[in-house]
Amino acid sequence: MSSSPRFDRGHTDDLMAFLMAAPSPYHAVAAAAARLEKAGFRQVEETAAWDGTAGGKYVLRGGAIVAWYVPEGAGAHTPFRIVGAHTDSPNLRVKPLPDTGAYGWRQIAVEVYGGTLLNTWLDRDLGLAGRISLRDGTDRLVSVDRPLLRVPQLAVHLDRSANSDGLKLDRQKHMQPIWGLGDVEEGDLIRFVAEEAGVDAEDITGWDLMPHPVEPPSYLGRDRELVAGPRMDNLLSVHAATAALAAVAGQPDAELPYIPVMAAFDHEENGSQSDTGADGPMLGTVLERSVFARGGGYEDRARAFAGTVCLSSDTGHAIHPNYAERHDPTHHPVVNGGPILKVNVNMRYATDGSGRSVFAAACEKAGVPWQTFVSNNAMPCGTTIGPITAARHGIRTVDIGVAILSMHSARELCGADDPYLLANALVAFLAG
């Protein structure tokens, strides 16, 4: 029997606000934490001793967040229900020596992060966001959310083959943004960032900064049935997981047979191998400490993990009307068709038949339609944090998500209904 949906189009409106508030992974976890705080969650420090009291808690580390809700009466061996996602998106990242330029143009030296579609960053108004590390050991978020940078494309008059032979971009030479005129001055960018953040430039000893498009998300289409915006891969899932966890924490504890968890990692777009990535120890450490804080031991930990299920929620590919031949001929996920189950028998996705049944049950309970994605056999399949989570922690994992177009573009496209359909399915899954 399906339950009444908790979220509607208002959830999509809130997603658009979340995307604007999260121009970097560090801002994304801060925005998620603020929403959880309003729902009664409290932050716990990794360096402090943890207690086993009931309630909502979360841990922040860099661009990652793990949050969980312990119902009253939960045992040390109570299994977890986890929604996994990632906070990073393919983009450009500022280099350690950022000040560069030539011929009277002042530019910023950047690296290409992840598998971004380079051409989508051309001729686009860009701001600058991220975190700065100060001499006293603290970090501070900074966001310049106005047109500051631009990667100018070469005029067609100087590249007559751009339309006929395809645009060819050199990642080193052609992707350095301009941000002004004049001579290059060492330390200029960090002095500017310091002024924006209200600190002394001499106190900034490190930074993790990245350009971001300043154009806000918007509804699109004749009937406003689409949403265009940045960083949907994968802040759409981070936002849905945060909303779902907060909603589940607000229902009676007696109705929760599991401990619901939201885990949003950094560095998925370049392999997840970091202390804040899914291939690091963060999730396992948090889950184990939760078990031990409730008086459990190794046996309780093993029992809890054996009964745990994770939904790895990431975006997937909707059928593209201009490139239908690139898709599997019998699997055509459409936007606004509900979340997708992602399957690959070579374990690029972690889904199997047993996992499919868990996802199907959650969607049925929520009254949400769902679809299946499989890659064309003639093309390589992408991957997610799903197989990493399954292998690293021995947790049954299912890969799901929302079907979008323009994945890894600076501006992606999804259906306006799919974000809240996903969130409703996640509520049903986390609540068991």
Q: pLDDT tens digit string along 188-211?
A: 999 999 999 999 999 999 999 999
Residue 381 burial by Cβ neighbours in a 10 Å radius (0-12, 13-18, 19+): middle
State pTM to two decimals: 0.97
Averaged pLDDT, 163-179: 94
| Angle, alpha carbons 312-37-141 (nearest 5°) | 80
In 146-266, alpha helices (H): 188-197, 232-249
With H, G, I as helix, E, B as strand and everything else as coil, classify residue 40: coil
Q: Which residue has the tokens 């932050």?
A: 43
Which tokens sit at 262?
């939201």
Please state, in angstroms and as integers, the Cα–Cα distance from residue 17 to each residue in 40, 379, 418, following that order.
21, 35, 16
* 121 in Cβ contact with 175 (< 8 Å): yes
> pLDDT tens digits, residue range 83-131?
999 999 999 999 999 999 999 999 999 999 999 999 999 999 999 999 9
166 pLDDT tier (thresholds 50, 70, 90): confident
Average pLDDT of the chain? 96
Overall average pLDDT of the 317-346 stretch:
96
Above 70 in pLDDT, residue 37?
Answer: yes
Tell me: pLDDT of 4 over 90. Answer: no
Give the residue-averaged pLDDT of 356-366.
96
CA distance 60 to 30: 8
Separation between Cα atoms, residue 190 and residue 200, nearest integer Å = 10
pLDDT of residue 119: 97
